[in-house]
Amino acid sequence: MTQDELKTLVGQAAVQHVPAGAIVGVGTGSTVNKFIDALASIKDQIRGAVSSSVASTERLKALGIPVLEASEVESLPVYIDGADEIDAAGNMIKGGGAALTREKIVADLAERFICIADESKLVEVMGNFPLPVEVIPMAAAQVARRLKAQYGGDATLRAGCVTDNGCHILDVRGLKITDPAAMEADVSQWPGVVTVGIFARNKASVCLLGTSEGVRTLTF
């Protein structure tokens, strides 16, 4: 199957993990778009969604799915989103679509994070995909220097990218992230960092992995 077909497969499988009557957390990206399309088939069985991006909100509303603000809910049973990389423990790199801060906020509301991805995203050690770091613009150069000094990563500003929060994205190459939780906790505290795209604190509970043999379910 093509990568697009694998994304469709896991998007459809994810609908089975949405409880009846739920408000569901919805992420961002091409794989999530397949989930949103599938979610429309059960829209009468759910109360609505909390979205992590303007793009996902627009897609949900176009399909007639009510969208609530994160401030309107105290918790969500499930958050469904993709990943740029995921390791064997359920830690992820996210932020290729520049929505990492809002994704982390919605993920933090959820009891379970269900990652939907194709098998190319499963890695032994994260870091081949450039790590996104959302920064306040005036801090970009300062944060880039510190990433180089402390982790040996080469950070470049993502050209033409302004996030939904009005911030910039640094993409960090040359990393081998052997302790995701420690790096997430460290970089998150640096002045000027809004969010680092390591999801270790909010790691996946389940990964629905699209493979040539069908959907493989990984539980962490």
- Which residues define the annotated binding site for substrate? 28-31, 81-84, 94-97, 121
Amino acid at 198: I
Distances (CA, A) of 3 to 114, 121, 211: 19, 11, 9
- Report which of 3, 4, 80 is spatially closest to residue 42, judged by C-alpha positions: 80
Gyration radius of the chain's alpha carbons: 17
Tokens of 41: 């088939």
Q: In what order do the strands lie in the sheet with 193-196?
A: 154-157, 168-173, 131-135, 193-196
Do 167 and 133 form a contact (C-beta atoms < 8 A)?
no
Q: List, as residue ranges, the binding site.
A: 28-31, 81-84, 94-97, 121
Residue 103 a catalytic site member: yes
Amino acid at 4: D
From 85, 103, 134, 184, active-site residue:
103
Catalytic residue annotation: 103
